[in-house]
Amino acid sequence: MRLLSTVSLMALQLLIPFAAAAATLISVGDGDTLRVEDGGKKIMIRVACIDAPETAQAPYGQQARQALQDLLPIGSTVTLKVQTTDRYGRTVAEVFAENGANAGLTLVQQGHAFAYRQYLKECDEWAYLDREQLAQLYRIGVWMFDGGIERPWDWRAASRGAQRQPTQRPVTLTIINDPKPSADPPPASASGRHWRCREVGS
């Protein structure tokens, strides 16, 4: 009986956070961001320890957003277990629904988000990785394909790289391979290969 009580208490700890604050949900941005109102102040929340597909990663990004909104209806009371503030000024927190369910952990289990390994240390790492493994095992959501879809952090990095690439206009060059130097410029019909800049190695 005592063992059962201990197990029940451990399960309860996964649902009901300590030192948490209540707030009212006013909007859902995407699968891992939302806005709440607390004491008349509007706060942008980044759901801790998960990374949901970006909106442009169709259809998974929209599915993740809808799943989060289903878990946390607009106007409902949510409980925040605040961890830190990120570089964008958002409050990073685990978010709990009115029924006590951990929204981020639920999204991972449903296959709508990945466990964000880089930032798991502030959460129950074992629980997030276990739920992710279950989603992968049953091939749901982002795990419908072997290995899952492109990770959101990789997708963002690739997008940033593409944005940094300058737009280049192709330029045609003529490279003349003439072993004998000549004072006169080669005629237009001189043999040679036409190259484009992108074909010439630096």
Q: Would you name the residues annotated as active-site residues?
A: 46, 54, 90
Q: Which two tokens stand for residue 170?
A: 């192709």
Give the 3-state secondary structure of 168-186: CCCCEEEECCCCCCCCCCC
Distance CA 68, CA 29 (A): 10
Q: Write phi, then psi, for 82 (nearest 5 degrees).
A: -75, 140
DSSP string covering 27-87:
EEEETTEEEEEETTEEEEEEETTEEPPPTTSTTHHHHHHHHHHHHS-TT-EEEEEEEEE-T
Distance CA 2, CA 146 (A): 43
What stretch of H or E contains 24?
strand 21-30
**Residue type (1 letter), 150:** E
What stretch of H or E contains 108?
helix 103-109
